A and B are shown apart, each in its own frame.
Chain A
Amino acid sequence: MNAPSHDSSNVSFAVVGTGGAGAITAGSILLEAAGKTGWYGLLNRSVGPQIRGGEAAALVRVSTKSAVCMSRKFNILVAIDWKNADRFVNVMPVASGGLVVCDPAAGDPPQAVLDMDCTIVKCRIGELAGSVKGGRENMIAVGIVAHLIGLPMNDVMKIVQSKLGKKGEQAVEIGRACINAGVQAAVEFGKTYLLSPPQDSSKDHWLITGNEAVGLGAIRGGVRFAAAYPITPATEVLEYLTPALVSIGGALVQAEDELASINMIIGASFGGRPSITATSGPGLSLMMESLGLAAASETPIVVVDVMRVGPSTGIATKSEQSDLNIAVYGFHGDADHVVIAPLGVADCLFAGQWAVHIAETLQTPVIVLSDQSIGQARVLIDTPANVSFLTQRKPFVNTGEEYKRYGLTADGVSPMAIPGQMGGQYTADGLTHSQRGTPSSSSRDQHEQMDKRCNKMDEFDFGDYWGLCEGDIENDTVILTWGSLTGAAHEALELLEENGPPTRLVSLRQISPFPIEAVKNVLKGAERVLFVEQSYSGQFYRHVRSNIDLPFDIHKLNREGPNVIGPEEIANKIRDWKDQ
């Protein structure tokens, strides 16, 4: 007896509790088990800044096809407790016909929940956990959700074995007993939200976060050195990279601050080792001067900025797309560099690799603008393709003639010697320099080197990687977005196919240098363009507008974080379009 709103290709649930209650762990076990079954899915965390005692919620969507963004409405909400629930229930509305499961011992649900058009079921989660010696409430929640969505129990138990096995067989047994108790309790609800069987259960799936994916992508690209300072929500990039780099003979150094971390990677890259750092807005602000040094000295580096709500400290655990301005325009002087943005969690892998390829090929800094909504989201995806770039710095060859580190070439890229190479000695410099690298204040040297660095960008073939186009090219309504909101825009397109004007999607992965010709071309024939971005001031809109003419009827859907823009809102904005 499925609810009318329930679509058997898609189910969303939230497990909420106080930080430390294990809500995130419960969500992770369920998502991983769904992967074993052959489904796709996505998990996002809604957490407060406190590690213990703050709010914590695992928001999970499981589906029979690739899930690219979080649902705005949830079929199931399991509350281990309601402490701090007022801080987040507004971001996880339960769908009409949905189910809320809560423990009567934890008190009444907040008014916001009582106001939702859903069924509320009381279930003594705490008592059930207490009936198993050492039992935990979050494992009861796992059992409840597994039953409600029809997750095969042997897949759940496999994950429990692999997650709890290291704590000993007793921990696994306790976990199993709790899950079974949860299942038994859920049977009594007389309600399910069963997901259709997977389309192809034989295919391997990957379970990966955006922060892990960008790290692995960078390693695929050749990165062997990293230096970084911890910062939410980028820290997982570093925690992933440390053991990963060590396992392949590389290293990560924890620096004393972001000023040190960016200069450490500049030093390592000068030494010939592709290098990366990861940070968030406050760290990127500190790095700006040295990013300019990397541009002027033509030292390849990659900086991943996992954007969060700003300005200043903002909301460290929530997402925004508001570092575009500083990433593109924050340098003093005219410092040529590249800014790219992954188009979703899975694309973080490609973006990480592509960033290293561009940096090494062009001997330039590359900033990757990820954000919290994709960096900390965990997804189940098909095994990603292995893109192979021919990544190589233009090598120095000792001919016995005087070496010009910054010599003028047709493509603007000069051969780069690395320490240890005889005859290649030069001094890399942030001072204006001659072709040889000697500090200079001559107008000719300044002009030559500016031209040369600009030329590198002009001559480089960014290929078809500049962005993504979806939908019929004849459709004259266009959703124009970038980076992490691509998934929501993609789903909006699907909603509009069912009900709405013919619309297509254009999303930019290449932010700077702006892909002028590509975007001009793809916007030909457009009449109406909707800009979608997570920025109060519309940084993306202004950026596009400063690069190309926009002879279209323009609407904007832009706002600050933390409320992430979702597919329904985008679709509604198109449906309600009033020509201006």
Chain B
Amino acid sequence: MNAPNLKASNFKSDITPIWCPGCGDFHVLMSITKALAKLGRPPEDVAVISGIGCSSRIPAYTNCYGFHGVHGRSLAVAAGLKVARPDLTVVAMSGDGDGFSIGGNHFMHACRRNVDMTYIVMDNRVYGMTKGQPSPTTESDWDSAISPGGTGVSVFHPLVVALASGANFVAREFSGNIKACTETILDAINHPGFSFVEILSPCVTFRPDEKEWKNQVHTASVPETDDPARAARRLMTDDGMNTGVLYRGNREPYFASVSDERGDISALEHAFVV
């Protein structure tokens, strides 16, 4: 199954991304293709699933099988695919609006369900495709046309929700650190169960302040843990800018799967005979 000598370029399509110059998502595309090359599975054995938004355009920029679905439902498409085709590597990729707002319910339940797949959220703390509205991860005082003076609403903390809901692997990276992103994505894919990686990925167009992120992120001072309580304590003092693997659990992944044998249905029919 492993195809040697795969390069990141084997996982890139010939379609030019429509992202703005300077968008962090370019780096995420580089990291995911590098990670997949390191994984060593051929592109046809990988599926990249997304919802709607700037970051969700990513499947078509890879040379894998892709599904660009409706807003907020990438995790559901990905879970159905992985249960139906356990032989594939399934990666769902999304943004903060897609993943935490319209798709928030699926996020919680995907963590609980623990299907063996990876979820990468490119978090830029803004709705970019609709030109700059606050998302669940946007600071509550961030000024915008739709919410002048800020939303006044508490900021959503994806890592807290992931950990509390039962995700089996939780990490944060910064898109500009391509080497670290690549390693963490590969780690997440290889880890059994539901793996969640938040990648801080700046929107230089609607959040020019995020250009400063490269100077603000720092490697977490505490090592990763398999103890949810320790991980939770670390999150209580999280400044939102520390990176690395937070939690690596050992829950059994979701059990259901579909085999490719077409079973005999005669017993099912016989069951209705009086």
Contacts and interface: CB of A to CB of B under 8 A. Distances in A.
B105 A270 contact: no
A207 B274 contact: yes
B67 A268 contact: no
Lowest 10 A-B CB distances belong to which pairs?
Answer: A248-B263, A267-B80, A264-B80, A427-B66, A263-B76, A268-B84, A35-B274, A249-B259, A267-B81, A267-B77
Contacts of B164: none
Contacts of B59: 427
Interface string A210-232: 00100010011010110100000
16 contacts: A219-B268, A225-B83, A251-B257, A259-B73, A259-B105, A267-B79, A268-B84, A289-B70, A290-B69, A297-B69, A419-B65, A420-B88, A427-B60, A427-B65, A428-B66, A431-B68
Nearest to B59: A427
A423 B44 contact: yes
Given A224-B258, A267-B67, A427-B66, A421 B77 contact: no
Interface in B11-50: 15, 42-45, 47, 49
Contact of B68 (A220, A417, A427): A427
Given A267-B76, A422-B44, A429-B60, A253 B83 contact: yes
B236 interface: no
Contacts of A421: 44
A249 B265 CA distance: 10
B63 interface: yes
A204 interface: yes
B263 A268 contact: no
A250 interface: yes
B211 interface: no
Given A270-B67, A428-B67, A249 B258 contact: yes
A266 B69 contact: yes
A33 to B, nearest CB: 9
Contacts of A222: 262
A257 B45 CA distance: 29
Q: Chain B at the A interface: mostly helix, strand, loop or mixed?
A: mixed
A267 B84 contact: yes
B43 A263 contact: no
Nearest to B88: A419
Nearest to B73: A263
Contacts of A224: 84, 258, 262
B57 interface: yes
Interface residues of A, number: 66
A222 B263 CA distance: 10
Residue among B75, B84, B258, B262 with max Cβ neighbours from chain A (10 Å): B84
Interface in A246-287: 247-253, 255-257, 259-273, 275
B207 interface: no
A422 B108 CA distance: 34
Contacts of A225: 80, 83-84, 258
Interface string B254-274: 001111011111011100111
B168 to A, nearest CB: 18
Interface in A465-488: none
A263 to B, nearest CB: 3
A273 B85 contact: yes
A242 B127 CA distance: 40
A439 interface: yes
A437 B77 contact: no
A285 to B, nearest CB: 15
Contacts of A273: 84-85, 258
Contacts of B141: none
A248 B79 contact: no
Contacts of B69: 263, 266, 290, 293, 297, 430
Residue among B59, B66, B67, B263 with max Cβ neighbours from chain A (10 Å): B67
B263 A212 contact: no
A219 B274 CA distance: 21
Given A263-B77, A267-B76, A420-B45, A425 B263 contact: no
B214 interface: no
Contacts of A417: 65
A252 B80 CA distance: 10
A426 interface: yes
A289 B72 CA distance: 11
B87 interface: yes
A219 B271 CA distance: 14
A380 interface: yes
B273 A420 contact: no
B273 A205 contact: yes
Interface string B238-263: 00000000000000000011110111
B273 A437 contact: no
A236 interface: no
B261 A429 contact: no
A220 B265 CA distance: 8
Residue among A262, A264, A297, A422 with max Cβ neighbours from chain B (10 Å): A264
Given A248-B263, A250-B263, A216 B269 contact: yes
Contacts of A420: 44-45, 85, 87-88
B78 interface: yes
B88 A271 contact: yes
A208 interface: yes
A244 interface: yes
A438 interface: yes
B105 A256 contact: yes
